[in-house]
A and B are shown apart, each in its own frame.
Chain A
Amino acid sequence: MSSATREIDRIVTWRPATVSEVIRETPSASTLVLDVEGWPGHRAGQHVDIRLTAEDGYHAQRSYSLASAPEDGVATITVERLDDGEVSPYLVDDAQAGDVVEIRGPVGGWFVWETTQGGPLWLIGGGSGVVPLRSMLRHHQLAGSDIPARLLLSAKAPRDVIYRAELQSWDVTYTYTRETPPGWTGYARRVDREMLAESGFAPGERPRIFVCGPTGFVEGVADDLTRLGHDPVRVRTERFGATGG
């Protein structure tokens, strides 16, 4: 390789990341704070690819949304365990401070929100789909934005809500699909058109909408939003499907 070629540092390539802290969020999800040498910073909503290598050289690689805000200055991911997964059980249950994994990113410029894009900002999450949306909310807060912002979050039960304490400082509507808290008078069903119309912004307010969750959730919500009259161009989606784990 010529020295001229070497001068061009490749920004996006695999590099080592050391786990500096593991925070248990729910029975099935953990947040990992990653120390990445030369971390270039990121935008709210971006993701990273994480690669694990077994002793025999076998690679397994998955994508995870960044949970931290750009202003946090660190790369933080939150991982939910899929019981038959190859990567997530290790990251959720076994990873410890000092462990080293490989990271590629931050990547993705499509599912990104920055205060300069304006709003209103409407975030709709299913389960651990809240992760990139939390990055956007933290960005909104730490940047001191006064753009109206709302989150609609669907979870199976209250104990499954990631970032539960932190979410109290934002305008969040919850719906629980399997188990509700005692005395709950809020939504207790899957997200539907009526719920979107009641809890969100009207099409005339021209919100910027970000939807993240399992494939079925995202497709149902995106379809309902279109039927309610929201401009599909202003709806951005991020599905996590059976390729997770």
Chain B
Amino acid sequence: MEHLDGNAAAGVLAEVFTMEATTAIVTCGGCGASGPLGAAVAYVTEMGTVVRCANCDEPLIRAAEIRDRVVFDMRGTATMTLAAGG
């Protein structure tokens, strides 16, 4: 399927993070590359959203919205740096 930019995941990220997540710097747990989440690669389906590393394609974040719950799997993210108060 066609992929989108990480900013396509902004909606579900904003449900969870109080700080802007698409400008956060994420380090991939797979290859160690880091960059803004908005510049990563996003796959958005009715089942959920997968954000993958732009360098190695490993999944950084999997997010699913199930009725009134949001489930996040971030095991592919080594670190996530957000701008406090931003």
Segment from A30-38, A103-111, A167-175, A185-193 that makes contact with B? A103-111
Contact flags (1/0) for B31-67 with A, using CB distance below 8 Å?
0000011110001111000000000000000000000
Number of interface residues of A (CB under 8 A): 26
Interface contacts beyond A109-B10, A238-B5, A239-B5: sample of 14 additional A-B pairs, CB < 8 Å, sorted by A: A13-B15, A49-B11, A104-B14, A105-B10, A107-B22, A109-B20, A110-B7, A110-B36, A110-B39, A111-B5, A241-B3, A243-B4, A243-B8, A243-B43
CB-CB under 8 A from A49, the residues of chain B are 11
Knowing A63-B8, A236-B38, say if A109 contacts B2 (CB, 8 Å).
Answer: no
Distance in Å: Cβ of B83 to nearest Cβ of chain A: 9
Query: A47: CB under 8 A from chain B?
Result: yes
Pick from A12, A63, A109: contact of B23, CB below 8 A.
A109
Knowing A107-B10, A107-B14, A109-B22, say if A240 contacts B4 (CB, 8 Å).
Answer: yes
Contact B4 A215 (CB under 8 A): yes
Query: B76: CB under 8 A from chain A?
Result: no
Query: A242: CB under 8 A from chain B?
Result: yes
Pick from A47, A60, A241, A242: contact of B10, CB below 8 A.
A47
Query: A18: CB under 8 A from chain B?
Result: no
